[in-house]
Amino acid sequence: MDTPLFVDVLDFKVFSDDLNAIPIEGEKCRTINTISPNSYGLSLKDSTFEVALKNTDFLVLDGVYFAFASLMLKGRNIKKNQGPDVFYHFMERMNKKGGKIFFLGSSLETLQKMEQRVKTDYINIESKSYSPPFKDHFNDEDNRAMLDAINSFSPEVLFIGMTCPKQEKWATQFRDRINSGLVISIGNVFDWFAGTQKPIHPFWFKIRIGWLVRIFQRPEIFRRNIRNQMTFFGDVLMIFLKLKRI
C-alpha cells in the first residue's frame, strides 16, 4: 500500500487521501480524529488536546475551513473526508469483509438503537457498545471499565462519540491499551445514525456546507464555539498577510 498523503496546515498534519489508504488491521492501534476551526481554537487553550490532535495517526476534515486555510496558505486543497464520510466508509468496509465494531459513548438508549440498525443494515457486522458516565473527567475506575468492555470484545474498529475534546484526548491517551485496529472519534454521528437527531442530508456534506446546516439546526453550538472559530480565521489572515508565523 502506498504511503498516505498529508498536508501540513497551521502546524497540523491533515490527511488528504482516499480513505482506502487507511488499513483497518495492523501491528498497532491507530487513531482517526477530525480538525475544525473550533478544535484549532480549543487546542490553543488546552495543551493536552493539542498534543492529542498532533499525535493522531489520521487527522481528517470536520467541515471546510481547514481546506480553505490550506488553499490560502499552501495553495493545496485537502480531500473531503468529514466525520460522516469516515463513519460510513468504514461501516461499508467492515460489512464487506465481516467483523466486529464497538460504539463507545452516548446514552444507553442511543447505543441500543445504533446496534439495532447495525443488525438491520449491516448484516455482516457484529456490534457491541458501552455507555460511560456523563462527566467532565473520567477516573481510573471509569477508564478501566471502558477498556475492559472494549478489549473483551476485541473489535476491529472502535467508534467513539463523547464530544470534542474529550473523545480525542481519550482515544490518544489509551490508544496503546486498546485491542483494536482503528479508533475513530466521530461525535454527533452517533445521534444521526441512531435517528435520535435529524441527520444532515449527504448533499450538504458533498458541497462542504454541512457545518452551515448544523448551525441552523443547533444554533447553541455556534454560539458556544464562535470565539474559537474567530481565533482560527484571525490566525489564518495574519499568517496570510505575513504578520504572524506559525
pLDDT in tens, 204-244: 666 666 656 666 666 666 677 789 889 999 999 999 999 98
Residue 27: its pLDDT value, please? 85
In this prediction, what percent of the chain has a pLDDT beyond 70? Answer: 89
The Cα 182–Cα 93 span in angstroms is 13
The cell for 237 is 489572515
User: What is the residue whose three cell numbers read 486555510?
Assistant: 69
Contact (Cβ atoms closer than 8 angstroms) between residue 90 and residue 97: no
Residue 187: its pLDDT value, please? 81
Contact (Cβ atoms closer than 8 angstroms) between residue 51 and residue 172: yes
pLDDT in tens, 106-163: 999 999 999 999 999 999 999 999 999 999 899 999 999 999 999 999 999 999 999 8
Q: What is this structure's pTM?
A: 0.90
